[in-house]
Amino acid sequence: MTEPNDARVGLYIDFDNIVISRYQQLHGRNAFQRDGIRDFNKKSPDADPEIAARLASATVDFNAIIDFAASFGTLVVNRAYADWSVPVNASYQRQLMSRAVDLTQLFTTTTRGTKNGADIRLAVDVVEDLFRLPDLTHVIIIAGDSDYIALAQKSKRLGRFVVGIGVAGSTSTSLAAACDEFEDYDSLPGIGSASPAATESPRESRKVAEPAPTKVDAVASPARRLTTIPMFSHTEDAQYDEPEPGDDIDPQTLATDLLVRALQIGHAKGDADEWLNTGTIKNQMRRMDPSFNEKPLGFRSFTDFLSSRSDQAELKEDGPHRLIRLRPEAEIKR
């Protein structure tokens, strides 16, 4: 249940902006257009395996983005804007829908695609939400385009805390300055540092990306493998369309990964060695996955759950408070 004093967050994703920027960050300027990624279909028998491998290596981890957005408060608006009929965009649908993202369809009306359409539609929706939802406290924009400077400034003037997230090398410095807080995609907890492949030979690039991408690869990042369904809401009897390998990952492993990610985010907002309140961490885990509950996992309390994860986190008591911090060697294991 949302607490009365919780911050309320609107997350707005310019999908093409972040996906194209990430691809070009790794594979070079104009690589997205040069490789014909917009019309590329990896399922086609004629699909170039080298292009497919390059595309898989540049997959954006939207779970990490949404987790970070949830650290600011309760997500009450969660939208992504794109033409979802495009194969490269459609490959993300399952992952986004599993995180309750509203997929806003933008139909292509010109040969230039939907870029300007996404900018305008996103900006109009944000302004409408600012007046329609007076309790909206945070606006998070996933894009690096300078076209959003005026939107960030307007949101701030209307009393909202504005956060931007963009890809290094494709982000307007003016947009970053217009936000209250701006994060590079590579700096988000759970995201590995970018290793641009533009200077690698095609053979070296393929070695990094092999094996050739599968349906699972379409929703996996170089940093960590993603789940594509809500982590704790399913049961053994639940049925999903197009079940994928890995959907039956042990819930205990998923819970451990969720804890590590929540602690990474908590430490990213302060000192890396800082002790964090266990109640704050549980709230963060519930924001990241509202279906999380320690009791179905076999623990009477959240403290018991944390105690069982002593390899990943250490606990201490400070008077009536229980504190926790991530062990330096802890990592997400899939």
Say what the pLDDT of residue 50 is.
Answer: 95
Q: Which domain holds residue 265?
A: 251-326
| Final residue before a domain boundary, out of 219, 239, 268 | 219
Q: Are both 207 and 309 inside the same structural domain?
A: no
Q: Flag whether 98 is in a domain.
A: yes
- Number of domains forming the structure of the chain: 2
CA angle, 260 as apex, 254 and 261 as ends, to 5°? 90
Q: Are both 214 and 280 inside the same structural domain?
A: no
Q: What is the secondary structure of 76-143 as a DSSP string?
A: EEEEEEE-TTSHHHHTTHHHHHHTT-EEEE----STTTTHHHHHHHHHHHHHHHHHH-TT--EEEEE-
Q: Are both 56 and 198 inside the same structural domain?
A: yes
CATH number of 187's domain: 3.40.50.1010
Say what the pLDDT of residue 224 is.
Answer: 35
Q: Are both 154 and 303 inside the same structural domain?
A: no
Phi/psi of residue 56, each to 5°?
A: -65, -40
Say what the pLDDT of residue 196 is.
Answer: 52
Parallel, antiparallel or unpaired: strands 74-82 and 102-105:
parallel
User: How many Cβ atoms from other residues are within 10 Å of residue 16's Cβ?
Assistant: 25
Parallel, antiparallel or unpaired: strands 102-105 and 138-142:
unpaired
CATH number of 285's domain: 3.30.420.610
Say what the pLDDT of residue 205 is.
Answer: 37
| Final residue before a domain boundary, out of 199, 219, 239 | 219
Is residue 152 within 8 A of residue 178, CB to CB? The reply is: yes
Q: In the chain, which stretches have pLDDT less than 50?
A: 1-2, 4, 197-246
Name 214's bridge partners: none
Query: Amino acid identity of 285?
Result: M
Q: Flag whether 38 is in a domain.
A: yes
Phi/psi of residue 322, each to 5°?
A: -105, 130
Q: Flag whether 47 is in a domain.
A: yes
Q: Are both 261 and 165 inside the same structural domain?
A: no
Q: What is the pLDDT of residues 250-291, one digit of tens each?
A: 899 999 999 999 999 999 887 767 899 999 999 999 999 888
Say what the pLDDT of residue 133 is.
Answer: 96
| Final residue before a domain boundary, out of 197, 219, 241 | 219
For the chain, helix, strand, coil in percent to 5 are: 40, 15, 45
Q: Flag whether 123 is in a domain.
A: yes
Cα-based distances in Å from 243 to 43, 54, 89, 228, 240: 17, 25, 19, 10, 6
Say what the pLDDT of residue 295 is.
Answer: 92
